[in-house]
Amino acid sequence: MTIKQLQQDILKLKREQDVIILAHYYQSMEIQEIADYLGGSLELSKIAKEKAHSEYIIFAGVIFMAETASILNQDKHVLIPSREACCSLAAYLNPKMVKLFRKKYPNLPVVTYVNSTAAVKAESDISCTSSNAVNIVRNISKEYQVDRVLFGPDANLADYAEQKSKIQTVKMPREGQCIVHSQISINDVKNARKEHPSAIILVHPECRREVRDTVDFIGSTAQMYNRVKQSPSKETEFIIGTEHGMLERMAQDFPNKTYHLLKDDITCLDMKKNKLEHIKHLLEHLDDKTFEVKVPSEIAKRALKPIEKMLKYS
Ligand code: SF4
């Protein structure tokens, strides 16, 4: 079956049922094209809460994102196209580790990146995304009247928040990193600059500090998108330092600009585990519990607090 036929079948099945499809910018273009809403983690979390009135939510992203949607929509069925779409970054931190860090630093608030499991969120004081990490660290340190916070699981994002807010972050754990963004090196930036000297380089805050320090713009996927959207006409060329799904999105939405990927193979293999065939299967079997991501109510209740706190501060 061709991609077009699959997409048509999906759209037809979607129309006939009470279902909404949310897709992260890192999904393949063919999935982005059939989604009701597209976005980065924060926008999709908000959409899941405010606009997802359907009984079924298909979340084309990784499991922690579907968990967040489940936490915010306990009365709905949240389905993930592939149960194998995990996140290696989220796997760096578990609730037991958070408790040990709390014991060691009893007065410090726990900030966890939304790219963490529901069980980790349940042990946190506040969540954050790559868009709001700096503000969240600033605000929570003020609220607790401390000059340090516990932050996990991404040590690079923690370092970025620390660099910008001047509030120290204790990394939970020190080695936590996103395999996709942390692989970008300073040499990749140098080579890209040499090849495209007038292009503007944008990277994600999950990149390492030496990379962040040499580029033109640092931001979440949504912030990068807006940076390109709002760019003046004299800025025509961009080098994208994040998952290549983002580049495809921009190329489609702003075709009058030229795009290059900062490195050849910036792909999140987990995000790409979701396929159109999986989504069609879900729509044909909405009641198949295998694909439902349901956070137990006791954990959901505790995990909701840090998310709501984050949404309030955002
Ligand atoms: S890009 Fe990184 S943080 Fe995002 S889902 Fe993939 S591994 Fe996880």
Average pLDDT, integer, range 64-81: 93
CA-closest residue to ligand 1 atom 2: 178
Q: Which H or E run includes 203?
A: strand 200-203
Class of domain 186-261: alpha beta
Tell me the pLDDT tens digit for each residue of 168-227.
Answer: 999 999 999 999 999 999 999 999 999 999 999 999 999 999 999 999 999 999 999 999
- What pTM was computed for the model? 0.94
pLDDT of residue 40: 83
CA-closest residue to ligand 1 atom 8: 87
- The mean pLDDT value of the chain amounts to 95
> Which pair of tokens denotes residue 119?
């069980």
Ligand 1 atom nearest to 62, measured from its CA: 5
DSSP for 131-166, written as a single string: TTHHHHHHHHHHHHT-SEEEEES-HHHHHHHHHHH-
Q: Where are the domains of the chain?
A: 3-85+271-295, 90-177, 186-261
pLDDT of residue 43: 81
pLDDT of residue 164: 97
CATH superfamily, domain at 90-177: NadA-like (3.40.50.10800)
Q: Are 161 and 137 in contact (CB under 8 A)?
A: yes
Domain 90-177 matches domain 186-261 at the CATH topology level: yes
CATH superfamily, domain at 3-85+271-295: NadA-like (3.40.50.10800)
Cα–Cα distances in Å, from 111 out to 52, 68, 128, 165, 295?
27, 16, 7, 14, 20
Angle CA(34)–CA(269)–CA(87) in degrees, nearest 5? 95
> 80, 115, 244: which to mutate for ligand 1, most atoms within 8 A of CB?
115
Tell me the pLDDT tens digit for each residue of 222-251.
Answer: 999 999 999 999 999 999 999 999 999 999
Q: Is 248 near ligand 1, meaning CB less than 6 Å away?
A: no
pLDDT-derived band at 48, boundaries 50, 70, 90 = confident
Using the predicted structure, report yes or no on whether residue 44 has a pLDDT greater than 90.
Answer: no
Q: Could you identify the residue written with the tokens 């994102």?
A: 65
**Sequence-separated (6 or more) residues with CB below 8 Å from residue 21:** 14, 34, 35, 36, 37, 58, 60, 279
What percentage of residues in the chain have a pLDDT greater than 90?
Answer: 91
pLDDT of residue 190: 97
